[in-house]
Structure 1
């Protein structure tokens, strides 16, 4: 079933890879290149899922996720942190900020689609991935 997925990622090549993967699978993709823009788009479109980079200029992904989790109208939207930060401390920080899953870069298209299907298809929310 197609869903609307918002990608908040400052690297254009990664956004493009994600968009191509998700559109090929039938999803609608919305993109933001920074945290503030991403928050505006979340409020405007109410996506089914958010893919959120942690390391971005300006407002980082952890701050964006804390704002989302504090908003009773938005906290139900599952957030997947996507990042090159792969230590247990980094993963714990992402999950503590309210993320439903943590996907390490680099990741493959199949891995991304499987995680999205887990989060949106079965209602099962894995603690981490990758």
Structure 2
């Protein structure tokens, strides 16, 4: 299910460090996006909306702390977990990083194993299904590890695309997703699919979820897209 791979943006100007992180994250099944400086990072955050950001403090141009401040000021980006990486191990720097809005702070030299563990811990909160967690919403249960869905006492049979759609909705109940956002998240950016395809699969998902009774949990938001609940 490569389209549902969590994406991590690595912002690091040292090529060796960037490659070590990329290699280890990809080995753990993450999709890695890379930026060498602050301007490139800000552009990629807008374009890609990564699931997590690993951000070096010392960057050419805009500093990591300034990037962090700008991200956390934007309501649409604020909830992306951000781990600040820094050679500055002084407590005052750590506090400043966290006060600027970083969700975590790790000092160089760091253990890659610890870094991966922290990445997974933050994703467990922000994108639980990507690390095999069970999700519930009202009477719907989705088990990301066994790829099974239940509504009440009945198992709901879903195709792979409907399963990925439901996962996306259940990770952020109430959030309105546009058709374009669903295409990116569920089908992947590399694949060209017509936006009407989204409507077809939403229709199938609704039908499957209501097969044994119960209200349709998916809301159509006119002119905007779809939401769960």
Normalised TM-score (structure 2):
0.52
Counterpart-to-counterpart distance in 2, 1:121 and 1:51: 16
Runs (4 or more) in structure 1 with deviation over 3 Å come to none
Q: Which residue of 2 is the match for residue 89 of structure 1?
A: 92
C-alpha displacement of 1:122: 4.2
Larger RCO: 1 or 2 (CA < 8 Å, sep 6+): 1
Counterpart-to-counterpart distance in 1, 2:59 and 2:40: 12
C-alpha displacement of 1:50: 0.1
Counterpart-to-counterpart distance in 1, 2:70 and 2:29: 29
Q: Which residue of 1 is the match for residue 19 of structure 2?
A: 16
Query: Is 1:34 equivalent to 2:29 in the alignment?
Result: no
Q: Which residue of 1 is the match for residue 5 of structure 2?
A: 2
Normalised TM-score (structure 1):
0.91
Query: Is 1:53 equivalent to 2:94 in the alignment?
Result: no
What SS does the corresponding residue of 1:94 show, helix, strand or coil?
Answer: helix
Q: Which runs of 5+ in 1 are unaligned?
A: 124-130
CA RMSD in angstroms, aligned pairs only: 1.1
What SS does the corresponding residue of 1:31 show, helix, strand or coil?
Answer: strand
Counterpart-to-counterpart distance in 1, 2:83 and 2:112: 14
What SS does the corresponding residue of 2:67 show, helix, strand or coil?
Answer: helix
Q: Which runs of 5+ in 2 are unaligned?
A: 127-229
Q: Which residue of 1 is the match for residue 123 of structure 2?
A: 120
Larger radius of gyration: 2
C-alpha displacement of 1:2: 3.3
